[in-house]
Amino acid sequence: MAFVEGNDHSDPTHAQSTRPVSNSNTQTNSPNPFLLSASENPGNILVTQPLLGMKDYQSWSRAMVLALTAKKKIGFMNGKIEKPEDDSPLYEDWESYNTMVLSWLINSMHFDVSSGIMYCETAKEMWLELQHVFSQGNGPKIYNLQQEIS
């Protein structure tokens, strides 16, 4: 939305007023993934309990998904906001916000966890690595529980 100055004929005391003008080239209903509020920075911690390991991975990942969805940044983790080509005008913005999401992920982990995945290039890569490492079930324990149930 742009603002245009012009004559406001309804108010004789003001020679000019500022009024919003719709721009047909913009999509007003689609959220901009490259938009951050002034309070968002790489030092933010999005979830209150840091990821310690396998024992709290499920609850931590759910909290992180909720937080990133609320910030309209979940697309960096699930791959819906794809990395543009290096020569794209969107590349620098994508790189900046991907780095922001990486920082939020790292800041929400215990050092012992983050040190093993610190060098992932994208938020999606880091998220998939965390899933690979921590969401693997305990096969023998599941088998024993199923046996006890039946």
Q: What pTM was estimated for this model as a whole?
A: 0.66
* Region 114-136 average pLDDT: 90
**41-50, 82-91, 122-131, 136-145: lowest mean pLDDT where?**
136-145
Domain boundaries, the chain: 54-137
Tell me what pLDDT residue 129 has.
Answer: 93
Is residue 23 scored above 80 in pLDDT?
Answer: no
Backbone angles phi, psi at 82, to 5 degrees: -80, 150
pLDDT digit string, tens, across residues 38-63: 667 676 777 888 999 888 999 999 99
Q: Return d(Cα 117, Cα 113) in angstroms, integer.
A: 7
Tell me what pLDDT residue 13 has.
Answer: 41
* Region 68-80 average pLDDT: 91
* Region 92-119 average pLDDT: 92
Highest mean pLDDT among 7-16, 108-117, 136-145: 108-117
| Residue 145 or 149, more confident | 149
Average pLDDT, the chain: 76
Tell me what pLDDT residue 144 has.
Answer: 64
